[in-house]
Structure 1
Amino acid sequence: MGSSAAQTTAHTLLNLPADIITNILLHADTPKQLLHAIQSHRVFYNVWKNDPFMLRKVVENRIGHDLLPYAAALLESKSLRPGIEHDAVRSLLARLDANVRSRGGCNFRDYRQSDYADMLRTHSTVEILREEVAAEALVAFVREFRLGHPQRASKQENFRIRRALYRFQLMCDLFYVPVKSGTPLYKREITRLFFYRYSPWVNEQMLCVYSYLERKVSEAFDHVAAHNVEWAEMPLSWSGNWCAEDICQIQWNLSRGLDFLVALFRAKTYDERNSMLPMYPPDGVDSDERNPFNVLSYQLTVPFEKFIKLYPEKYLSLDILDPDIDVDLATLSEEDLRVVDDETGPMEPSIADFEQRGFLEKLSQPADGSQDSPLSTPFRLWCRAHAEKDLMDMDVRSIRHNGHVNLLACGYVFWDCDLPQPHDQTSAWDTAMTDRMKALAGAAYMFPRLETTWERENILRSEKQRSSICLAGGSGYWPKPEPGKDYDFSRVRGLSEEEKQRLVERFRMEEAKGIGHVWGGLDTSYGSRA
């Protein structure tokens, strides 16, 4: 029966028109799927063999016209040495901007088959992350904003997420430069050539993607850092209110590429994650071999530090704008840039003040696309989120630390909603959104890090016990301490039974003296560790 079904299928394929066979091949998601189809039947192979541009057509169909400039730029970025070839980086960004503005796609003239295959593989990775970001953020957005929205993201919303993922990886490829490999473009050039080509609400779409990726890396890092015996003796911070943006290990892993991030997010067990997260990056990443995470030299290269350029000091300062960038506020007088309060006198204008005068529309860029114009939901929600802020003094670090992180977790600038048209309804809608955002900003973070789920004493207890095990020559996994229960050495390697017994006696003595006890003049109380 199986043979009969196969013969029927083969006969059906032989009778299909060539354009339908071509269309089947065009919908392959990955090079592997395309190869499988070609090898499955000679009708697919013949179409493939007779059309030298088939793989190019698959790429165009799969990635889509609007995303092709980003896919092409990302492919080119992998062959550059951004720490040395600064002119090549500038040229790449100029071509990307021109292709996006002209909606002209990209030039495939010099592409090889392997280039098309790489683009398909990268896009497949983007699709995996796009689906995960959309599924999680949309649920949070609907719940917190209480706005009607379909259960699934629209084509337009998915485009925003895909574009943000491509831009994030492009940012890492072009501006993350290990110290021994040179230096990235000067920070003002990064602002002008990469961030200012887009409006701030489109740039915050990339910040939403970054926040998701950072949180997922943090989950894996915290899991390993809380249980790895060897890590207890190193200045690796998973507790003590350290922010992920300040932990170099998390930042370095964020820069390792979207393929790595997908693999890391799929790893769920301690052993899987531990095998993927080295204590330090490979030799040669940093200039100080004794301390591979020398903060003074390293912090300038990590992904989060690049986002600082999103809102640089004096955001609208004309001396850092190119003449061809459509954010020309030179016609505004000093009076335009000031607000006079009846009681306090002249004061810096807020974003709400700029919005009321129609100035914020000048921040819209051609590269944004019509879906992110000043008529879009992302623009309106961005204005509401920052209404009381001073545009001249905004910066990424402060907005992430002032409750804005929950808005980013909702992906609030990804989504479209039905906007009210009459002015009176618009005012009511704006007020309601502002109130909800303030409530969200004042709420606890939706996705707290692991250390918030541990008792303070258990964090210290774990660090002290793992440190003692490491100093005794042990390695491996140490479970979360549970006072009153037996100590579990089942996943600890390198210790004899006698050494384990001595450690048990020490742990019991520490419990008797109090977990904050200082041994041998070394203060290991909570909060004293880096």
Structure 2
Amino acid sequence: MAQTSSRRPGPFLPLAAEIRQAILCQFDDVATLESASAADCSLGAAFSGSPSIVLARVLHNAIPSELLPEAQALQASYNLDSKSRTVERVTKIVDAFVRREPADFTKWALPEARYVSGLAPVVEFFIDDFASLACSRRRNTTATVAPISSSERCRIARAFYRFEIYCNLFRPYRRVSLDAETQRELFIRQFAPWETEQLCCVYDYLVEKITPAYNDIAEHDIQWGEFSVPFDAGHHNAEECYDHAVSLGLSSIHQAVTAMTYEERYEVLSKHFGFGDDFLLETLWQCRSMEEYGRPLSDYDEVTKHALIAPPALDDPDPGPRDIWYWVHAENSSEEFIYSERHRYLRRRGYVMWDISRLRQEWKLLDGHYADPPDEALEPLDNRPELTPNLEEMYDSWKRRSKIYAAGGRGWWSKDDESKVVYPTRTDADVRREVQREPLPDTWQPFIEFQKTFSLSQRLESLKVNQEKESEM
């Protein structure tokens, strides 16, 4: 006897299609819209009947009006890959973004809408964490910290979205990458220096957040040890490795920093691991202009300011970011206008993110002349994970893991615990020697080539040191 379906009509079926569409239009994220459409066939039919209208309404609910140009730039850059990412295409996207063209959601495809909508809660997470961390680093510890204002929240959100747009436009690819100088010309120079410093604040924060997760994998994974991936910020190319890690974008960074287990962190970071010179770090270094070298900002006349300092691309009625940037850099020359090492402390405080009222009343800034804080004031702020005692331990870790890798071992390792290393099913020595290296993603190749060069120079330097020691005996 044939089974009869036990599925009953959904509660929305008696409603007119227009009413069902109106219900769907109340959602404020695409994931909920898709779940509701999948759970109830009558709602699914209502969505299918007019997808562009429903999707546009949901996206308007999800994205504040002041962030619509950011949303449009995210949508335009979402599908860029190594083939479609040309100077002409990037220029078109950036120009539209600087002109603050709003989003036309009716032309968006569902995957694009899903991506931008899904990014919104990730950005909210980072806004709250960034603001909390930055405000905890104030030097005036007696002042009450006021909740961040709507204008401050919008400013920080724009900076995080701008970082994501930058990732979409310039994420390193093995075969096709736009070099740092091109990135600077196409993107960085379209913004005022205080707007770029906002991007720098976000960049430093994201590197700080992802470093513990990255170092955890680099210190314990067999394969990462085989390829000498550093897990000590003191290593000569650690910054470039962290730079590539954050190029994965906000969603991947969020997954890595909120992961509860080693396996979850590995899943996010290992499949996309790579190394490259041409991303945001190299571009910011390129921005240390040598024009007007040695001449302080306070000596600039209006003609020089107009020539060397880009006007703001973003509407911001509060003068706080502009005023604090001019105040801090008054005695600096142009090579320190963007991403100066001496202003790392200020970037960690998000100095260009705040309204002028907070800068004056809470931070006690903008009066008199700016002076760099003493070194002892900076040291307590450096709360990065404890570094390895010395680089020799890291080199020894690489050597030991390389031997295990050659024997076919994979997985998690530590110098005191090798019980989690996984070997092939047959474990005799002959089979282990026959184990071949698995193919690696293209993004690994620049790092491997660099490490080969470095390893050779290290060996030569070590040989030289040993010879000098022998001659002294």
TM-score, L = length of structure 2: 0.71
What is the match of residue 407 of structure 1?
346
What is the match of residue 394 of structure 1?
336
What is the match of residue 271 of structure 1?
263
Unaligned runs of 5+ in 2: 1-10, 430-458, 466-473
- Which residue of 156, 168, 179 maps to 2:163? 168
Q: Report the Cα distance in structure 1 between the residues aligned to 2:412 and 2:460, rounded to whole angstroms.
A: 24
Structure 1 pair 367/171, CA: closer, same or farther in 2 (3 Å)? same
- Which residue of 298, 302, 314 maps to 2:279? 302
SS of the aligned residue for 1:272 comes to: helix
Q: Report the Cα distance in structure 2 between the residues aligned to 1:465 and 1:524, rounded to whole angstroms.
A: 21
Q: Confirm whether residue 94 of structure 1 aligns to residue 95 of structure 2.
A: yes
| CA positional deviation for 1:362 | 8.9
| CA positional deviation for 1:68 | 1.5
SS of the aligned residue for 1:92 comes to: helix
What is the match of residue 323 of structure 1?
none
Q: Report the Cα distance in structure 2 between the residues aligned to 1:38 and 1:222, rounded to whole angstroms.
A: 42
Q: Report the Cα distance in structure 2 between the residues aligned to 1:269 and 1:112, rounded to whole angstroms.
A: 36
What is the match of residue 350 of structure 1?
296
- Contact kept in structure 1, 2:29 and 2:58, CA below 8 Å: no
Give CA deviations for 1:451-497 in whole Å, capped at 9, x if unaligned: 25x57775466445444544555333223x5xxxxx43321233999
Q: Report the Cα distance in structure 2 between the residues aligned to 1:118 and 1:227, rounded to whole angstroms.
A: 36
| CA positional deviation for 1:52 | 5.3
- Contact kept in structure 2, 1:213 and 1:254, CA below 8 Å: yes
- Contact kept in structure 2, 1:129 and 1:262, CA below 8 Å: no
- More moved, 70-79 vs 489-498: 489-498
Unaligned runs of 5+ in 1: 1-9, 282-291, 317-346, 482-486, 500-521
| Backbone CA RMSD of aligned residues | 4.5
| CA positional deviation for 1:72 | 1.4
Give CA deviations for 1:10-54 in whole Å, capped at 9, x if unaligned: 89x99xx979x94x7555342121234556789977986578522
| CA positional deviation for 1:313 | 3.6
Q: Report the Cα distance in structure 2 between the residues aligned to 1:222 and 1:134, rounded to whole angstroms.
A: 24
Structure 1 pair 433/186, CA: closer, same or farther in 2 (3 Å)? closer
| CA positional deviation for 1:201 | 0.8
Count of residue pairs the alignment pairs up: 417
What is the match of residue 67 of structure 1?
67
Q: Report the Cα distance in structure 1 between the residues aligned to 2:238 and 2:329, rounded to whole angstroms.
A: 21
- Contact kept in structure 1, 2:180 and 2:286, CA below 8 Å: no
What is the match of residue 436 of structure 2?
none
What is the match of residue 149 of structure 1?
145
Q: Confirm whether residue 368 of structure 1 aligns to residue 314 of structure 2.
A: yes
Q: Report the Cα distance in structure 2 between the residues aligned to 1:134 and 1:303, rounded to whole angstroms.
A: 23
What is the match of residue 509 of structure 1?
none
Q: Confirm whether residue 492 of structure 1 aligns to residue 434 of structure 2.
A: no
Structure 1 pair 47/475, CA: closer, same or farther in 2 (3 Å)? closer
SS of the aligned residue for 1:349 comes to: coil
Q: Report the Cα distance in structure 2 between the residues aligned to 1:449 and 1:64, rounded to whole angstroms.
A: 36
Counterpart residue type for residue 70 of structure 1: E
Structure 1 pair 150/41, CA: closer, same or farther in 2 (3 Å)? farther
Structure 1 pair 86/132, CA: closer, same or farther in 2 (3 Å)? closer
Q: Confirm whether residue 477 of structure 1 aligns to residue 412 of structure 2.
A: yes
- Contact kept in structure 1, 2:207 and 2:246, CA below 8 Å: yes
- More moved, 406-415 vs 197-206: 406-415
| CA positional deviation for 1:448 | 2.0
What is the match of residue 211 of structure 2?
218
- Contact kept in structure 2, 1:308 and 1:395, CA below 8 Å: no
5 Å-filtered alignment, 1:30-429, equals 30-37=29-36, 53-81=53-81, 85-98=86-99, 100=100, 105-108=102-105, 111-114=107-110, 118-146=112-140, 148-151=144-147, 153-181=148-176, 183-184=177-178, 187=181, 190-239=183-232, 241-242=234-235, 246-248=239-241, 250-278=242-270, 281=273, 293=275, 298-299=276-277, 301-314=278-291, 348-354=294-300, 359=305, 363=309, 365-371=311-317, 375-376=319-320, 378-391=321-334, 393-394=335-336, 396=338, 399-400=340-341, 402=342, 404-418=343-357, 429=365
Structure 1 pair 477/120, CA: closer, same or farther in 2 (3 Å)? closer
| CA positional deviation for 1:241 | 0.9
SS of the aligned residue for 1:271 comes to: helix
SS of the aligned residue for 2:313 comes to: helix
Q: Confirm whether residue 451 of structure 1 aligns to residue 446 of structure 2.
A: no
- Contact kept in structure 1, 2:29 and 2:62, CA below 8 Å: no
- Contact kept in structure 1, 2:78 and 2:112, CA below 8 Å: no
Q: Report the Cα distance in structure 1 between the residues aligned to 2:402 and 2:215, rounded to whole angstroms.
A: 17
| CA positional deviation for 1:164 | 1.5
- Contact kept in structure 1, 2:31 and 2:114, CA below 8 Å: no
5 Å-filtered alignment, 1:510-525, equals none
Structure 1 pair 362/303, CA: closer, same or farther in 2 (3 Å)? closer
- Contact kept in structure 2, 1:244 and 1:251, CA below 8 Å: no
Q: Report the Cα distance in structure 2 between the residues aligned to 1:37 and 1:236, rounded to whole angstroms.
A: 45
TM-score, L = length of structure 1: 0.64
- Contact kept in structure 1, 2:231 and 2:394, CA below 8 Å: no
Q: Report the Cα distance in structure 1 between the residues aligned to 2:290 and 2:407, rounded to whole angstroms.
A: 51
| CA positional deviation for 1:262 | 2.3
| CA positional deviation for 1:389 | 1.8
SS of the aligned residue for 1:213 comes to: helix
SS of the aligned residue for 1:365 comes to: coil
| CA positional deviation for 1:310 | 4.1
- Contact kept in structure 2, 1:31 and 1:120, CA below 8 Å: yes
Q: Report the Cα distance in structure 2 between the residues aligned to 1:362 and 1:211, rounded to whole angstroms.
A: 25
Structure 1 pair 79/476, CA: closer, same or farther in 2 (3 Å)? closer
Q: Report the Cα distance in structure 1 between the residues aligned to 2:82 and 2:222, rounded to whole angstroms.
A: 37
- Contact kept in structure 2, 1:27 and 1:62, CA below 8 Å: no
